[in-house]
Chain A
């Protein structure tokens, strides 16, 4: 890449902030590497192509894959990207960079604790494990260090959000009449959503799971803790997605040679995420007994509304890149597609990520329907779905965005652009293969989350055999792993390319700017308040019903193996019978 500009790069202007961003991205990418390896092991194991682990260790692998990728990789990338976005768009440093270092360190320490607890599960001699999967449902129990690490990590993200709000407030003092710059607007709205969403997981971990794993309380209610998990577990998908949206809205049009079509529409989309991300979590619990159908119906309705911001995004982002294509000389109803910069890995990666996200939108609609969900619940369809969303829309966008961002953070060019291009295309191909096969397998009832899936169904020849599906999953998973290795090695080699100037990038203003929208869109307090009200409406009654049915700590998760308790029950019943006879 020999493209040169006369703008100073981000690292020239903000060296300390660039160091924080680089550090966050490096942690993210180390986790990406480990998580991808675990993904390969799983794909080959459950398809019976290559088994290098014992099936008993499958859940350790699965937990590492889920937590390292869906929590650590995504969120570390988010904090790095958001630190860049806030600093760049407000054109100012954090109020106190030591605070910025503090949250980055807390998040790292928390990740190391949780990660160590998971990986120690491979070593039988050490009595530490956390084979609880990404969802860490009770009654699966992890070592306390896992929950403590998770809590520290989340507090670190809260501090990061506080840091960005603080920077914005300082900017606000100097610029009382200006609209919030779009990238900062996106960061602030994401963090409001995150503060609301993480209340659920904070209560789940600090009040229930951590004391339970420490032996301070005897039991927890699985339904209550599951519900608290999904209070957080659905909005977290938007926490992954919103940084990808930030790149699609603000960076992709620039790379395409155009301008964002509508700044107001982008703001509306992010506000809709603030309002609707959290009061939907119960749609993950359609088959959970103990939650009334009516509450599930409310969650479904909210979920269907939540399709709106993603459909708005499809319009705005495609319209923005079409603008770029037409500025590049593209013509015709579809001919403009050929004028897009397909040899730019940052563009192609994000565009292909968006394409697979459109497919993921469809499978998401199926998941969201209360009735049709029964068709696919707990089958391989569901991982097929989220490998299109977080596994591609988010992960591939992050990797593609890195090809654009990294030179600005280091003043070094990417080692090889052709390898980068091959890498993003390989990810797309591998995921198309693997995810498609997972969806089809799910339709036939192949279960998720197992090392030993029972392939005992009849498959119509029209859709291929189970053997073909397994092969597609194995080949797709292998391509994804190779793609990850190409990404990481390309980036590692980029650490050694010579430093030079000329990597500065500006982001052109939107075609329809913030002045075209009402100022109320920037009223963060208002949207936060409405979001809280919606969450209370959606969750107060179901949570109240669960607690009044089972109490705060449940009716008791029996210890396993059960030897002592039944004896007491039997003795108690006998004594009661005797007492009746005597009376």
Chain B
């Protein structure tokens, strides 16, 4: 995105802290470029999420949906 003070082409990371940051919050220690960064942690989290989704879906479909009798009210 082209910010008002940072042109879109710039690769310079803004070091300014967030206005909502806690006092004494640690600043950025290093800059990681697109090439240097590999989101492995994200992949791990997403795989865990998919595993949870699949397990819950199987539970919902086979246990809750197929396993329950019809509820007839009245």
Contacts and interface: CB of A to CB of B under 8 A. Distances in A.
A6 B6 CA distance: 14
A559 B26 CA distance: 68
Chain B interface mostly helix, strand, loop or mixed? loop
Interface in B5-48: 5-14, 16-23, 25-34, 37, 39-42, 44-46
Nearest to A85: B1
Contacts of B12: 508
B1 A250 contact: yes
A509 B22 contact: no
B68 A375 contact: yes
Contacts of B1: 89, 181-183, 250, 260, 263, 507, 509-510, 514
A511 interface: yes
Interface in A354-386: 358, 361-362, 365-366, 371-372, 375
B46 A343 contact: no
B69 to A, nearest CB: 11
Given A314-B46, A507-B1, A261 B19 contact: no
Interface in A307-347: 314-315, 318-319, 322-323, 325-329, 332-334, 336-337, 341, 343-347
Contact of B17 (A3, A329, A336, A372): A3
Interface residues of A, number: 77
Given A3-B25, A91-B4, A336-B41, A347 B46 contact: no
Interface in B46-74: 46, 49, 52-53, 56-57, 60-61, 64-65, 68, 71, 73
Contacts of B21: 1, 3, 255, 341, 343-344
B57 A365 contact: yes
A3 B8 contact: no
Contacts of A509: 1-3, 6-11
Contacts of B31: 327
Contact of B41 (A259, A328, A333, A513): A333
A334 B6 CA distance: 31
A326 B37 contact: yes
A408 interface: yes
A375 B64 CA distance: 8
A287 to B, nearest CB: 14
Contacts of B68: 375
B53 A1 contact: no
A417 interface: yes
Contacts of B57: 362, 365-366
A443 B49 contact: no
B62 to A, nearest CB: 11
A545 to B, nearest CB: 29
A341 B44 contact: no
A446 to B, nearest CB: 11
A7 B41 contact: no
Given A362-B53, A457-B71, A506-B3, A341 B16 contact: no
A315 B42 contact: yes
A372 B65 contact: yes
B20 A259 contact: no
A255 B31 CA distance: 15
B23 A318 contact: no
A250 B1 CA distance: 8
A318 B44 CA distance: 11
B10 to A, nearest CB: 6
Nearest to B26: A328
Contacts of B26: 328-329
7 contacts: A323-B32, A328-B27, A341-B22, A361-B53, A365-B53, A407-B20, A512-B34
Interface of B: 1-14, 16-23, 25-34, 37, 39-42, 44-46, 49, 52-53, 56-57, 60-61, 64-65, 68, 71, 73
Given A509-B10, A512-B34, 19 more contacts: A1-B19, A1-B21, A3-B25, A89-B4, A181-B2, A181-B8, A263-B1, A319-B42, A327-B30, A328-B29, A329-B26, A332-B41, A333-B44, A344-B20, A362-B52, A372-B65, A454-B73, A457-B71, A510-B1
Lowest 8 CB-CB distances: which A-B pairs, in order?
A182-B1, A343-B22, A346-B20, A319-B39, A511-B34, A319-B42, A91-B4, A329-B29
